[in-house]
Structure 1
Amino acid sequence: MWSASGISAVGDGMRDAALPLLAATLSDSPSAVALVKGAAALPWLIMSLHAGVIADRSDRRRLMWTIDFGRGAIVLGFAAWALLSSPPLAALAVLAFALGCGETIFSNAATSALPDVVRADQLDAANGRMQGSVILGANLGGPLLGTALFALAAWAPFTVDGTSFLVAAVLVTFTGQSGKVAPRADRRPMATEIREGVRWLLASPEVRLLTVVSTLGAMAFFMANTMMVLLVTRTLDAPVTAFGVVLAAAAVGGTAASMLAGRISRRIDRSARIALGFGLMGSCWVLLGLSSSWLLVAAISTGTGFGVVLWNVQATSLRQQAVPKELLGRVNSCYMLISRLGIIVGTALSGWIAGVTSIRVPIVLGGAVLLLCLLLVPRLARIEAAPAAVPGQGGPAPAERTGSTD
């Protein structure tokens, strides 16, 4: 599963770089690139909840390789089209939307299937490695390779991307099955099953708190992160290439955290791990907002990258342990949808605050909010593995509703 994730991430990074480049060659309007980017992001907002139901209804690992085979066929078909002629802009948007739909379901299924692949005490290490694959593949290696191949031929990065999906699908088939699948006769309307996941989340004080903190953290992080490009290129008057160095430095920090996640979990307790994540993110953003040199910004950015990945690993592992397996897909979907809304709010607030004050203010303010999240660390660290869901009910078992964090 880790190998499949890494190979697929490289393909994703190549496509994410090649699609906007292809859109820019088809139209001189900036809205062309925005259309493709928006089409790729739209599925996360409109079908996240449905993806959770699909993940809970299915053998999750079989669902993963089925989706990857489908995505591979679609991208290879598009590559053939790009080889023979120039596809219209609308085709790029449809491709981005279709692959976004597949990614929404695949990501939920992968997160929900991981507890069936590794033991509970291995979740931090496994989640860290999966995130490391995404950072190295989708954020670093993939975009570089995608732009290089696009310079040779527009169809080339899509061919490699489609092939990566097929290879990843084959690898996932070797991981076996993900537990029992509910018979079709036991399935209820999708809206009913979505409500079960929402009710369970609302009725669980522990996972509800985790969702609130994650959403608040995402809002604060993107409030700060959105202004980084302007801090480097305008406030600090550095060249555009300097911003690339800053992004690379953050990726290096994130990769280090992903590789060390297992060792960290064995050496310090959950409370200290969460505190370290928020403490690094918050203090580094405050320092970044006050920095006077882009080289200093790059150095400090390794800390933000380390902190955000460390926190993401903890949040994912806590969710995988605290939610019953039969509800994990639906609760994951609610969690991710709410967290992404936090990203949207944080991005919008960043622009507004910078407009009425200065570029540095939302960066420092975002860091301060992340430091305030440290007050909730003791309650987060007490989240325990949940008992199985009560049959026929959407909420957690009574013992969990009266847990220590209530």
Structure 2
Amino acid sequence: MPSSTDPSSLPGARPSLWRHRNFRRYLTGQAASVTGSSISTMVIPVLAVLELDATTAEIAWLTFLGQLPPALLALHAGALADRHAKRKQMITGTLVSAAALASVPVAAALDRLSLTQLMVVAAVQGAAGAVHDAAAISLLPSLVDRSLIQRSNSRIGGLFAVAATAGSNLGAALTALLGPARALLGDVLSYLISAWCTARIQTPESPRPAAECRRLHTEIGEGLRYVHGDHRLRTLTLVNATTSSALALLNTLWALYLLRSLAMSATAFGVVLGFGALGAAAGALAAPSLAARYGPGPMMLAALAITPLTQLPLLLASPGLAWQVAIGAALLLQLACAAAAGTTQRSIRQVVTADGMQTRMQAVSTWLTSGARPVAALLAGGLGTWIGVRPTLIIGTCLLLVPLVVLYRSPLRTLREMPGSPAAGPPSADTFAQPAPSPLGPAVPNPAAPGDERHDRSSGGGP
């Protein structure tokens, strides 16, 4: 709930996100982190490919080790965030990430930097990021009223996309001025800013007393059953996971293909990433109006249908400025679709989930989404070595059709309005004796009704 000191919480006041002091602090801190992460997203591939001469297999292992910890830790991090103060968990993860990343420019200054160290740093950052993200995403519903969640996610998505654009361009500039290793100091600074902003959030939290906490695996099981028992959560989580798997395969080799096969410079690579992020800003900001006009279901379905088509310029490209522009334009469209769909599906999941299950619901989505990524990274490395990078990118493009089919076969595809909120209060243990029916049946069309989902090039909505 909004802080009692927020003007928007006064009787008769028109709800305004910008009057929520805690929301502004949350948004500023997370946007700073996104800006810094975009620097790393642009710089680390340049460092690995151009400075350390990484092979296709080594790039795949670097990606795998960075994405494995969230797959292993997401469920546990989500259950812990339900027990403890979310802000402390966010700050801890942020500071650990800053310390790990700071070791890279130090090692480079001592001429001791290696791919092994980059892999260790990637693994530590992945673990710290899982701890941070489990708390950060589920903190939002406690900062604003549920009626503002869709608008909040839209503003967050738009600002994050702008921050990603700034980060990519800043990364390119810092790489040109300081070299790729020292450019990472920009990300270290962003982590410190994020921790400071998070520490200033004053919304009271009520961690459960130790006496009320059951075994961690029991609470994890409740989260899994909760998501499985609601067809909306189940469908959107599966859409997220399949989208993430396909994009992880593409992302593993995307930078390698642009930098090596298409001979793109580090500066052009950063500009392309930044240009594409503008599409994410547009898609996130337009999501509420698009969902209101066409319905959340049809809008998400159209976005998923367009996404595979945006890969065609990449697959057809050859070295040259014209193709670089075409790839940037396609990336802009891809991220616009991803942000519009991702913002909408995340809002639906947050709105329909009971307060006591927000973190564990998010953890289940993160676990499945993150679990697909390391497997896809290893698959990309193996296929890229065996059949070549470009054929592997073609396979990844074909896999983008899977989430489209998943959503098309669900009644969510005809969802015409945002669903309402569930009953307030956390569910009891008895709630999980069997899968619960959807508490908001009328909001979702009957299945039999006629006309039956980096800083990273992700699905845009996040887990």
Bin of the TM-score, shorter chain as denominator length: 0.7 to 0.9
Q: Which of the numbers 302, 309, 321 marks the counterpart of 2:351?
A: 321
State the aligned residue count: 402
Deviation at 1:180?
Answer: 1.9
Counterpart secondary structure, 2:195: helix
Q: Which amino acid aligns with 1:3?
A: T
* 1:114 positional shift: 0.8
> Does residue 267 of structure 2 align to residue 259 of structure 1?
no
- 2-structure distance, mates of 1:68, 1:285: 33
Q: Which residue of 2 is the match for residue 385 of structure 1?
A: 421
Residues 288, 297 of structure 1: 8 Å contact kept: yes
Structure 1: which 5+ runs fail to align? none
* 1:334 CA displacement: 1.6
Aligned equivalent of 1:85: 110
Q: CA offsets per residue over residues 262-306 of structure 1, 9 Å max, x none?
A: 444555532343234224325545798789984655544432221
Judged with a 3 Å threshold, the aligned counterparts in structure 2 of structure 1 residues 339 and 359 are, in CA distance, closer, same or farther, namely closer
Deviation of 1:58 after TM superposition, in Å, equals 2.0
Partner of 1:305: 335
Matched, 1:15 2:53: no
In the TM superposition, what is the alpha-carbon distance from 1:103 to its structure 2 partner? 0.9
Is 1:280 matched with 2:343? no
Name 1:141's counterpart in structure 2.
Answer: 166
In the alignment, is residue 336 of structure 1 matched against residue 361 of structure 2? no
Structure 2 Cα separation of the partners of residues 344 and 288 of structure 1: 23
Is 2:89 the partner of 1:63?
yes
Residues in 1 aligned to 2:135 and 2:53: alpha-carbon distance in whole angstroms? 38
Deviation at 1:310? 0.9
Summarize deviations over 1:338-393 as a string: whole Å, max 9, x none. Answer: 12344566664898699599678547634654553552464263755333443124
CA distance in 1, matches of 2:59, 2:311: 29
Q: Tell me what 1:124 maps to.
A: 150
Partner amino acid, structure 2, of 1:375: Y
Q: Paired residue for 1:191? A: 217
**Letter in structure 1 aligned against 2:428:** P
| Residues 35-54 of structure 1: pairs in structure 2 closer than 5 A | 36-54=62-80
Query: In the TM superposition, what is the alpha-carbon distance from 1:200 to its structure 2 partner?
Result: 1.8
**Separation in structure 2 between the aligned mates of residue 232 and residue 22 of structure 1, nearest angstrom:** 14
State the alpha-carbon separation in 1 of the partners of residues 259 and 96 from structure 2: 41
Question: Counterparts of 2:350 and 2:218 in 1: how far apart (Å)?
Answer: 22
Q: Which residue of 1 aligns with 2:453?
A: none
Q: Does the alignment pair 1:161 with 2:199? A: no
Contact 1:290 1:360 in 2 (8 A): no
TM-score by length of 1: 0.79
Report the CA distance shift for 1:160/1:239 in structure 2 as closer, same or farther (over 3 A): closer
RMSD: 4.2
Structure 2 counterpart SS, 1:47: helix
Shift of 1:104: 0.9
Moved more, 327-336 or 25-34: 25-34
Q: What pairs up with 1:225-264 in 2 under 5 angstroms? A: 240=264, 247-264=273-290
Amino-acid identity (%): 22
Q: Deviations over 1:187-229 (max 9, x none)?
A: 2222222222122222223311222233234345566777877
Counterpart CA distance in 2 for 1:312 and 1:273 is 11
* Deviation of 1:52 (Å): 0.9
Paired letter, 2:338: V
* Structure with greater helix percent: 1
Amino acid at match of 2:341: W
| Paired residues of 2:87 and 2:198 also in contact (CA < 8 A) | yes
Distance 1:74 1:339, change over 3 A: closer
Is the CA contact (8 Å cut-off) linking 1:274 and 1:377 kept in structure 2? no
Residues 390 and 73 (structure 1 numbering): CA distance in 2 closer, same or farther, change over 3 Å? same
Unaligned runs of 5+ in 2: 1-25, 448-463
Find the aligned partners of 1:260 and 1:225 in 2 and give their Cα distance.
25
Amino acid aligned to 1:117 = L
- Cα shift at 1:146: 3.6
8 A Cα contact 1:285 1:367, kept in partner: no
Partners of 2:237 and 2:135 in 1: CA distance: 19
- 2:438 matched to which residue of 1? 400
Residue identity opposite 1:15 in structure 2: S
Identify which range, 199-208 or 215-224, moves more after superposition.
215-224
